[in-house]
Amino acid sequence: MALIVQKYGGTSVGNTDRIKNVAARVAKYRAQGDQIVVVVSAMSGVTDGLIKLAKDIALLPSEREMDVLLATGEQQTIALTAIALHALNVPAVSLTGAQAGIMTDGVHTKAKIHNITPKKVRDLLKQGNVVIVAGFQGETPEGQITTLGRGGSDLTAIALAAALKADLCQIYTDVDGVYTADPRIVKDAKKLEEISYDEMLELASLGAKVMQGRSVEFAKKFDVVFEVRSSLNDNPGTIVKEETKSMEDVVVRGVSLDKNQAKVTLVGVPDKPGVAARIFKALGDATVNVDMIVQNISHGSGVPATDLSFTVDKPDLLKAQKVIDGLKKELGFRDVIATEKIGKLSIVGVGMRSHTGVAAKLFETLANEGVNIDMISTSEIKISVVIDLARGEAAMKAVHAAFIEN
Ligand code: ADP
Ligand code: ASP
Ligand code: MG
């Protein structure tokens, strides 16, 4: 008898027929004698709809109240999935994140899981139930409802699989697995049989929303091997696991485009020690995630000044601007320019460690497309460039063709 954690994303529970379909799949596994823990997302569009309602009322709503609001999305689907299983005569019990013992820190809207005590889940499984857990949510030790960041149901599933020492963790979604690029944008993208944690982590953090980045980080830390596969067919999916020797043979495993970043430029920042520290400490304190940072060399006479650009997640832009406005007097920079019209294009592969000329080929491909590069950042296994959002998809197709289709 195996213990299986299955996670179903928003599209997979997007309407009542889909929920019945999920119930049928779960029932099939259970009929083979397996114990099943199901993690579900909110029905597709529900989380976005709730965010929109709040933003219609206030531009910067209280993050505590956002968590109370957003957690309701998943609470609908756990109950509906339990009802669908009951209709198939399968005993099933739904649990909120808190009821499932998912404890987090108090950083509302992007809380981190601190520990899981899944005693209730274990007891209910032992009694023969399918246990259905609300994804994306947890509770602080003080009893506050928290959410785990967008796409956070992936994290719930992987963390539960680790805590329960599950034999199998399956992430069911609306594509057949992890592809070399988003198959909705790049028609020639290929499904990968396997991918290393590090590559999946980079792709996820760089915009491939098929997995939430933090969930992959967690999987790597606790060595949770998982499969990404479709809830709409029985095709084998993609196995995400630790790196093997042969994985280095492929230079670029995947290409991603992150359209969810914004860029802030501080113009005329006084060039003296401590200024960057002050700016990024203030942003950090406001829980704004800063990604790329570029500082230009100062020119001209008078007090030396530089331009400082950085990127943040789009939903954090207003918060970042508020923090920066608060520092203007103290730091004395001249101006702030913010834009949401950027895209971050990245190539990822563990093979980059042992192959040369990859950056040159990327820049050349973009030059041939007439795409200007605004910012660059690299790590051992990835190269990212910030470009004009309007050219993002065309650039992605060209880069995919150059590195993967040839
Ligand atoms: P779920 O609701 O199941 O969590 P998501 O919408 O979060 O699903 O993620 C699945 C989507 O991720 C796919 O529909 C696909 O368009 C997108 N995606 C982006 N990059 C990739 C990739 N490299 N491979 C597969 N899917 C990708
Ligand atoms: N419902 C949440 C979201 O839309 C969590 C998830 O789907 O994983 O981000
Ligand atoms: Mg998702």
Per-residue pLDDT for 72 more than 90?
yes
Q: Please give the domain boundaries of the chain with CATH numbers for all domains.
A: 3-174 (3.40.1160.10)
Q: What is the percent of the chain with per-residue pLDDT over 90, rounded to a whole number?
A: 95
Does this model's pTM top 0.85?
A: yes
Q: CA-CA distance, 226 to 6, in Å (whole number)?
A: 10
Cα radius of gyration rounded to whole Å, the chain: 23
Instruction: Name the band, by pLDDT with cuts 50, 70 and 90, for residue 271.
Output: confident
Helices 213-221 and 197-205 pack at an angle, to 10 degrees, of 160
Q: CA-CA distance, 69 to 375, in Å (whole number)?
A: 37
Give the ligand whose atoms come closest to the C-alpha of residue 155: 2
Q: CA-CA distance, 145 to 107, in Å (whole number)?
A: 10
Ligand 1 pocket mutation pick from 175, 186, 193, 195 by most atoms within 8 angstroms of CB: 175
Ligand 1 pocket mutation pick from 180, 188, 195, 210 by most atoms within 8 angstroms of CB: 210
pLDDT digits (tens, 9 = 90+) for 136-170: 999 999 999 999 999 999 999 999 999 999 999 99
Nearest one of 302, 297, 278, 294 to 344, comparing CA atoms? 294
| Distance from Cα 9 to the centre of ligand 3, integer Å | 6
Look over the chain and give the mean of its residue pLDDT values, rounded to a whole number: 96
Mean pLDDT of the 383-388 span: 97
Q: CA-CA distance, 193 to 113, in Å (whole number)?
A: 29
pLDDT of res. 300: 64
pLDDT digits (tens, 9 = 90+) for 200-258: 999 999 999 999 999 999 999 999 999 999 999 999 999 999 999 989 899 999 999 99
